[in-house]
């Protein structure tokens, strides 16, 4: 964005700050949503879980996952003792699976280094895996009453409209100035409620696009509303380029079970389980990928030549198309040297970035693999894309 449209960041004066605090907290007391983690405001573990689940995910989607997760792992120690596969299985379908891995690693760090108690200071929280400045501020203020600010997408939008800032919200210098404003606005007490009130206002009233200014408790102090700018603050984000990728997938059955393999621990859907697959390079046909996949499958596997169907998933920056083929295995043997779950992609003489590290054991060891019945799917972590392929096959519990 050009410099001429940038306005200086002039924080609210002392009397405006007092009025904003008073009005926002009064509004929150009467309008806050009844959310399960708010019923456990003093439970830092519950706040950590909720904040990690809410990253880039709608509240309505998170509620069910949160309730199932905290019922299975009611304390941070319970989570730390769990296997990662079980954690990922409960997270299946929620997306952004690095959050689940970070949550599990953070729980283990809390047990190992903090006596099983979630830290109360922002700098300690930020030393945990997956917890940045915003998440640390949310946990510290909501669970412990610390005077720590938050700055997520909702708060950024509220503050930019409040201050009439026609600027790029991702610009680092502006972000730092907004952090400063958020800190100045904090009251002496009820910091957790104030932070939640700012986020609630952005989520329910000061929404993207055209906000509901008539219902806003801060309208009298909003410079953006006064100047008629709220419908264009913040400016629309640039659309990310969406690329298309394709995979060939093999649904191999044996004795009422289907073969699943674990993906590498880095990259797309890291550590999750899927049907054996093969990526297609640009210009390749599904038949090209199918030939490579057949070479990597366990012995005595037979795949039909006819495609069983296709499934499509829209991710943030890519559209993924799966060509699904069905087959059967005469034996359930899974040789340790097989490579049916980790593809090097089209033969270029180089190892694909998708491949990731090999499993421990011999140098030629393949990835973990399991034969599973439909009623055993709850034991593993599956992506929404993997679930879409199984739905195509009508294979579920």
Residue positions annotated with a catalytic role: 51
Beta bridge partners of 243: 318
- CA-based end-to-end distance of the chain: 51
Rounded Cα distance between 199 and 202, Å, is 5
Of 185, 195, 189, the residue nearest 138 (C-alpha): 195
DSSP code of residue 97: T
DSSP string for 254-309: ETTEEEEEEPPSSSTTTT-EES-EEEPPTT--HHHHHHHHHHHSPTTEEE-SS--E
CB atoms within 10 A of CB 209: 8
Q: What residue has token string 């270029």?
A: 348
How far apart (Å, rounded) are the C-alpha atoms in residues 281 and 244?
Answer: 11
**Alpha-carbon span 83 to 361, nearest angstrom:** 20
Rounded Cα gap, residues 86 and 370, in angstroms: 15
Q: Give the helix/strand (H/E) hosting 371.
A: strand 369-372
Of 107, 206, 116, 79, residue with least CA distance to 153: 206
């Amino acid at each position: 964005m050009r410099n001429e449209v940038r306005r200086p960041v002039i924080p609210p004066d002392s009397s405006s700050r007092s009025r904003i605090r008073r009005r926002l907290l009064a509004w929150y007391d009467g309008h806050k949503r009844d959310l399960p983690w708010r019923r456990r405001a003093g439970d830092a573990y519950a706040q950590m879980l909720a904040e990690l689940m809410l990253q880039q995910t709608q509240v309505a989607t998170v509620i069910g996952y949160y309730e199932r997760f905290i019922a299975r792992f009611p304390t941070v120690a319970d989570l730390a003792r769990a296997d990662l596969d079980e954690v990922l299985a409960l997270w299946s379908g929620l997306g952004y699976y690095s959050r689940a891995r970070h949550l599990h690693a953070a729980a283990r760090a809390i047990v190992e280094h903090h006596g099983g108690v979630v830290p109360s200071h922002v700098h300690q929280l930020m030393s945990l895996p997956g917890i940045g400045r915003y998440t640390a501020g949310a946990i510290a203020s909501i669970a412990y009453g610390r005077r720590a600010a938050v700055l997520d997408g909702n708060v950024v939008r509220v503050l930019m409209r409040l201050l009439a800032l026609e600027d790029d919200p991702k610009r680092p210098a502006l972000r730092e100035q907004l952090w400063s404003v958020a800190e100045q606005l904090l009251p002496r007490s009820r910091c957790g409620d104030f932070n939640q009130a700012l986020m609630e206002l952005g989520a329910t009233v000061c929404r993207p696009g055209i906000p509901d200014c008539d219902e806003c408790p801060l309208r009298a102090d909003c410079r953006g509303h006064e100047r008629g700018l709220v419908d264009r603050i913040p400016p629309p984000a640039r659309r990310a380029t969406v690329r298309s990728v394709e995979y060939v997938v093999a649904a191999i059955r044996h004795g009422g079970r289907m073969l699943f393999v674990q993906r590498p621990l880095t990259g797309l859907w890291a550590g999750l389980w899927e049907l054996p697959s093969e990526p297609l390079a640009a210009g390749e046909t599904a038949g090209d990928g199918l030939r490579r996949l057949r070479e990597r499958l366990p012995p005595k596997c037979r795949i039909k030549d006819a495609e069983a169907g296709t499934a499509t998933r829209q991710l943030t920056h890519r559209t993924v198309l799966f060509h699904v083929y069905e087959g059967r295995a005469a034996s359930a043997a899974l040789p340790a040297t097989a490579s049916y779950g980790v593809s090097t992609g089209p033969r270029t003489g180089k190892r694909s970035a998708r491949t990731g590290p090999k499993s421990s054991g011999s140098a030629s060891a393949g990835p973990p693999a399991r034969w599973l019945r439909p009623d055993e799917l709850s034991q593993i972590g599956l992506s929404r894309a993997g679930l879409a392929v199984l739905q195509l096959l009508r294979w579920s519990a």
